[in-house]
Each structure stands twice: as structure tokens, then as C-alpha cells.
Amino acid sequence: MSRRDFLQCAATTVSAASLPLAVAPVFTPTPVPTAAPVPAPFAEPVTVVLVVNGKRHELGLEPRVTLLDALRETLGLTGTKKGCDHGQCGACTVLVDGRRINACLTLAIMHEGEAITTVEGLARDGRLAPLQAAFIESDAFQCGYCTPGQLCSATALLAEFRAGDASAVSADVRQPQPVATEAEIRERMSGNLCRCGAYPNIVAAVRTVATAR
Amino acid sequence: MQSFFYDRATHANQAVGLAQQPDSRFIAGGTNLLDLMKNDVMHASRLIDLNRAGLEAIAATADGGLSLGALARNSDTANHPLVRQRYPLLSQALLAGASAQVRNMATNGGNLMQRTRCYYFTDPAFTRCNKRVPGSGCAAMEGINRIHAILGASAACIATHPSDLCVALAALDAVVVVCGPQGERRIPIQEFHRLPGDQPQVDTVLAPGELITAILLGPSPFAEHSHYLKVRDRASYAFALVSVAVGLALAGGVVYQAAVALGGVAAKPWRIPGAEAPLLGQRPGTREFDRRAAAVAETLLAGARPFKGNQFKIPLAHRSIVRALQLAGRSPGGAA
């Protein structure tokens, strides 16, 4: 009997949704053995194919390498910044298949074959993206460390507005199209911190581009 | 981060099979797991990647409900047309959590499995934490316990569950579908998370190697009148000090069904069966409705036991419950 035959889980649960609910077993507080820490194995580097800014790279990476470290240390794309390395500051924000994520909280190996865009990939043919131009125009940075993350994050924000996505400050999530108000932009950019406090100008830059469309 | 082996699952059953290997863990979005692994709070010799296991579907069910795939991202779930129209409470709760970046990574199943944000748990510089090192003690009990539990805590642990999604799921009586070596089982959301008791290291009733595959929602009468109220230290990207998920079903302006769940107060979303009964037959917007809302709060908070730093949570929770009920009664779709 194969493992697949042995396991009886449905591949999808939709069809089974109307079945009566099983009663979950009552938890009995039996002591959980606290196992001695298992020594970490040594996992050899494996081949990982990353597609970054349209270019395919075949890399040898240990599974534990984060996407952020692969971009910066292995590929030398140091535009993406390491701030907190814990998903709190947003300096490492990149786009994966057009969606913004924190590159520090994910493994490079989890993104094989996906289209990764870093700040280096936002300009086209030597011309700044409208958001990049707006950041300069609005003086939306001081030290610049958070800027690559802000730019990638705001790029996705524009796409989310176009898609009609709601946010925590949208008046009614049942209404299809939110408006790019200052409150909406601030809420949607809350995953990107700026230690220089350039927030008013960042909001202005994002709003200029968001309302120009 | 310590070294580990990596397997990629392409099917739920395969993932469960792979998880039978020693010291292995599932990874979905990874937003909490990798954070904790970097801090040496959690460890694994092997990670089993679920991201290509085909568990991301969100689909209407035959009974008029909805099945949320365990691997559906928080952002996709919050913005799914059926979720926004039929379960705005769920959208609101999801959008109140984390940041846009994290919601694009974090999954529904992972949200249920996330660990507490108790400072003494997430930082191994603190030696005493029964959840991290069973038997080591609880530093929060006598320490900074502003964010900690007022309900359901034990002498071993006073941590809270940090999820917003789970609070809404509790109000919606969701059911968690789980796949394991023995096959499939279904767990009502209220029975999924454990109170700490003398085993605070065990957060849920999942057996080792069991995998969440989906979350089921029944048809909801709360689409017109619901509200998720989250009270926190920052306006965005912060965990709840107290949160309230409310659903009201009205006919002719009168409540015929109600659900109230509390977050940020215990190791699990807090509901008391029948606590909402005083609201039945009441008309939101009246003084009597507000009085009954206060009675619901009294019932939910009965037995609340604060610690030195979180006494404020009792009146805060009380007022939040009343306010969330008022807002749900007033506003179609939960508009603030």
C-alpha cells in the first residue's frame, strides 16, 4: 500500500463541506516529553533558480538563505536593504509576481521560477518610473535607506488600488473601489518605516502618482 | 538561523507523509516561523514547503458557505469578492492585521498556527518562559505584562494569541479541516486553540504531523451588520490590546442572532456560549440595546483576572464590546 493510499485526506474539502462535523477529541493533559535539542543538520547548498528583474540566475544556496540575503550577498543587488531583518521595517520590500513582500521573512528557495523585481528593476530603459520621479520631485527621502523598500511597496500599492483592494481604513469593504486618500495611503504604507520621518512627502509622492491614473 | 533540510510538497497528503520525518515542520508564508527561527525560539531539522501543495483555493460550498484554503494568502482572502460581500467581518479582521507585505505572504492556516508575541517568549535573552522552555517559569507574571491575558491564563503562562483573523472566525463559528496520518478530521475553531493549563508549550489540539488544509464557514446572517474593532498602541501594524468581532442578524430592525468574540485577552479567541442572548429581540440604537450590550460584556468578562500591568484591559474590553455592538448595529457592512 502506498503512502498516498494509506492517507485518506480529500484533495479538496469543498465537496465535503456539508458533512456533519466530527467532534474534536478532548485534549487530555498528558505530559509532553521535552526532547533534547536536536543538533542542526548540515544542509548542503542546492541549485536554486531565481528570476530577478527579468534575468534568470542559477545559484547554489543553502535552504536557510533568505531571499534578501540571496539578492544582496549572492547576486550583489544591494538596492534592497536589510533594516531589521524581522519584517518590521519594510526596507527589504521586493515584488514577487507583482506583489510586495518582505524579502527577509522568506527563503530564496521558496521563490524558484517566480518573477522577482527589486528597486533596480523599477526603471525602464534608463528612465525612472513615475513613482521614482515623484519621490525626487516631492523630496520624499532624506538618508534614502528606506527608499528602495518604499518604492517597491508603493509600486504594489498602485496595483492594489487599481484592483480595488480594500484596506483597514476603507469605509465599507463591500464597496468595490476605494479612493486614494491620505488616510488610505498611510494605512497601506504602514509596513514601511522611515527613520528620517519623511512620511508627509512620501505620502505626497505616492498620492501624486496614484491620483494621476 | 540554523541549517535545515528543505522539501517541497506538491500535495497535502505528500506533505503529511514528509512530515513524518523527525524534527520536521511545515512552512507556509514563513512570516512567523522564520522570524522565530532567526531568534532561536523555534527550530527544525527539516522544513516542508506547502506553497506549491495546491491548498490556496477559496470556493463557495454547497451549503451556501465558503471554504478558505489553508494556503490562501491573508490578502487574497480579505479581498476575495465572496469574502467581502458575505463575510465583511473576516475581511475587516484580516486587513486590521500586520502590513500589506506580511498579508501577501501570510496564509490562513499559518495565521491559526502563529505563536504569541509575549516578549518573554520571542526573546531567548529571557531565560524564563514555560512556552519556550517548559518548566523554566513565567517571567511575564511578575514582569511587563501590559499585553497579556486577563482570561483563561494559568500559573504557568499568561500569553495571548495574537491573531485578528481567529477572532472573526470564532464569531463566525468556523471549522478547521485538518489532514493527518490517520486521515481527515474537523475541529470547531473554539476547540482548535488550547488554554495554557500546565502545558503552555502546546498551543493547539493539532497532533504532530497534522496539517490544516482548509477553514470552513457556514452561511452567515451577519453580512449586513458586523464590525471588527481593534484597539492597539499604533493605528496600524500593531497587535491588538483588545479586539472585538461582532456579528448581528436583524429582521425588521430587531436582533434575532448575534455573535461576539474577544481577542487580545486570552490564549484563544474568547467566546461564552449564550453570552449574546440579552441582545435578542433588541433594536440597535436604543438605550435598552446599549444596556444589553453592557450585559454581554459583563458575561464575557466574568472571571477576568488582571495582572499588574494590564488592569486597564478589563474596562477597555468592556467598552470595546459595547462600542463594537453599537457600530455593528448602526452600520451596514461594518463601516466605522
Which residues span the domain enclosing B264?
A: 225-331
Cell of B24: 520536521
Q: Considering the domain boundaries, does residue B73 fall inside one?
A: no
Number of domains making up chain B: 2
- Answer yes or no: are the C-beta atoms of A24 and A90 closer than 8 Å: no
Cβ within 8 Å of A, B 82-101: 84-85, 88, 91-92, 95-96, 98-101
CA angle B250, B251, B253 (to 5 degrees): 70
Q: Is A168 on the interface with B (CB under 8 A)?
A: yes
- Residue-wise pLDDT tens digits, A58-91: 999 999 999 999 999 999 999 999 999 999 999 9
CATH number for the segment(s) A130-212: 1.10.150.120
Q: Is B177 on the interface with A (CB under 8 A)?
A: yes
Cβ within 8 Å of A, B 193-252: 194, 197-199, 201-202, 205, 213-214, 216, 223, 235-237
Predicted TM-score (pTM) of the model is 0.93
CATH 1.10.150.120 range(s) for chain A read 130-212
- Answer yes or no: are the C-beta atoms of A82 and B79 closer than 8 Å: no
Q: Which residues is A57 bridged to in the sheet?
A: A50
Q: Catalogue the E-assigned strands of B100-253.
A: 175-180, 183-188, 211-217, 225-231, 242-251
Helix, strand, or coil (residue A96): strand
Q: Considering the domain boundaries, does residue B144 fall inside one?
A: no
Dist. CA B137–CA B157, nearest whole Å: 8
ipTM: 0.96
Ordered per-residue pLDDT tens for chain B, 336 residues:
999 999 999 999 999 999 999 999 999 999 999 999 999 999 999 999 999 999 999 999 999 999 999 999 999 999 999 999 999 999 999 999 999 999 999 999 999 999 999 999 999 999 999 999 999 999 999 999 999 999 999 999 999 999 999 999 999 999 999 999 999 999 999 999 999 999 999 999 999 999 999 999 999 999 999 999 999 999 999 999 999 999 999 999 999 999 999 999 999 999 999 999 999 999 999 999 999 999 999 999 999 999 999 999 999 999 999 999 999 998 654 444
CB atoms within 10 A of CB B203: 21
- Answer yes or no: are the C-beta atoms of B120 and B129 closer than 8 Å: yes
Dist. CA B179–CA B186, nearest whole Å: 9
Q: Is A204 on the interface with B (CB under 8 A)?
A: no
Q: Considering the domain boundaries, does residue B13 fall inside one?
A: yes
CB-CB neighbors (< 8 A) of B215 in chain A? none
**Helices and strands, number each (H, E), in chain B:** 12, 11
B193 class by beta-carbon count within 10 Å (0-12 exposed, 13-18 middle, 19+ buried): buried
Give me the architecture of the A46-121 domain, per CATH. Answer: Roll (3.10)
CA B294 from chain centre, in angstroms, equals 24
The CATH number of residue B40's host domain is: 3.30.43.10
Dist. CA A152–CA A91, nearest whole Å: 9
Dist. CA B50–CA B214, nearest whole Å: 13
Dist. CA B24–CA A108, nearest whole Å: 19
Torsion of CA A152, A157, A160, A166, to 10 degrees: 140
Dist. CA A183–CA A170, nearest whole Å: 9
CB atoms within 10 A of CB B291: 12
Dist. CA B306–CA B86, nearest whole Å: 36
Dist. CA A110–CA B187, nearest whole Å: 29
Cα of first residue to Cα of last residue in chain A, in angstroms, is 59
